[in-house]
Structure 1
Amino acid sequence: MIIEQANSGDFIELKNLWSAVFSEDPTFLEHFFSTRFAAHTIYVARIDDHIVSALHALACQYMQQGTIHPCSYIVGAATYASYRKQGIMGKLLAATQQAYTHPITLFPAVRPFYEANGYYTTSSVLSFPLEGCAALSPTLIPLDFQQLDSLYRNEHALHGCLLRDEEAWKFLTDGYQTLCVEDGYAFISEGKAVEACARTEKAARELVGILAASCITEVYTLDHSLIATMLDREKAVPIPMGMSTDITMHGVYIAEQY
């Protein structure tokens, strides 16, 4: 078995691996490989000249205490079923970590596996039930990349966050139902607001009200957020978020992104 960086000729094999392991929506797959494919950031395991496992370590940045730092963000960590439980992915993770001096981050599908490979959970959010919240119907508005990014950075100014470029925001707004009010937004998935940010008390009230009106059952938000102050903290449940190889990233918000 050979562990190495991918090359441009691996494009089709890598795309086929992703499609086979994740049963991915073709539209997403085309979007990802047309915008995020960078062979030098992909690590592969080859057996008999065929890729059997791979991961994409996307070039990324995070903000912490007002300073921006480089990192890598792993997505598409995939192994064909017949080659699993042989330690291959662990070797790919080790090779990726050895290749960079900066932190490697990810949002885990199987948290104990990454813990066993040296990753730490950097932060958590609180999940609040929306029982008894008054339903409101404020005017929804479209928010562009710059507005969403400004709200996101403001929300995470205290402890920091993984940064998102315009393409990352496009993946998120395409992948989640997005509700936006002036100075606030929420991403909706399976009846839950899995990310909610508000810059003002008015925006927080409007978001909570429209989520209640939309029959959303839970909202995930930071423990010190304006949204959290309007909900029942006694019923809040911590939800672990992303992970890093570097313990100094403690507190930095890492969510799923591409």
Structure 2
Amino acid sequence: MEGCRNSKDYMMDVAGRVFVLGVGIDNVNLGEALKRIQEYVENGTAGLVVTANPEIVMLARKSPDFKAYLDNALMVTADGIGILIGARLLGRPIKQRVTGIDLTTALFEQAAAKKYKFYFVGAKPGVAEAAAENIRKAYPGIEIIGIQHGYFNDDSKIIDDIKIKKPDILLAALGMGKQEKWIEERVKPAGVPVSIGVGGSFDVFSGEAKRAPKWIQDAGIEWLYRLIRQPSRFWRMLQLPKFLGAIILSRLFSGK
């Protein structure tokens, strides 16, 4: 049975990575995640950072190629509340939910002092530009050295521009799966120290979309807020009960 085939569902390796349905999640809080990213930038390490929700874990169970991107990632944080619940049910609690938007916002706050140079790729034409404009106003001194929308077929000019400008951190808003594939196969060889898939974050930073109020985030029901505002997300949200069902089955068949 797929749900219990991987004994790593219950393991934590020596580096502190908790395995949830075979996907390794780094047991870090926001401060620790920021410190790691600083080290990656300083060391010039080229790689992917993933903020994982249940949908990402379920995709990894279906796609060996996608799972390999997660396995090779510099860091995988627990984005969705479902990951925290799943890890707790498996007996390996994770310290904190570290979402993509929280992580990038914290990086923007540090950007001027740390001298991080950012490159934005993704979203509809004009959205990344609007996001960059708002971010520059909110965080004076931040360097956003490249902006490209996500509607491209040939990325050769984008990759050439990345190689020339040498950003420290690249944010890709191309959608789950596509952004991780593009980073791993195209951006990582270009030598960018840290690349993060940020999904719909540019829409939030640009003002195109609104994030849930803080009390909803803290209550762990941000997913419900998104569903109410975007009913079209219903079929995607079905991954959450599937994920929790797989967690329960995996625990039952392990004898835990």
In the superposition, the TM-score normalised over structure 2's length comes to 0.26
Between structures 1 and 2, the one with greater strand share:
1
Greater C-alpha Rg = 1
TM-score, length basis structure 1: 0.26
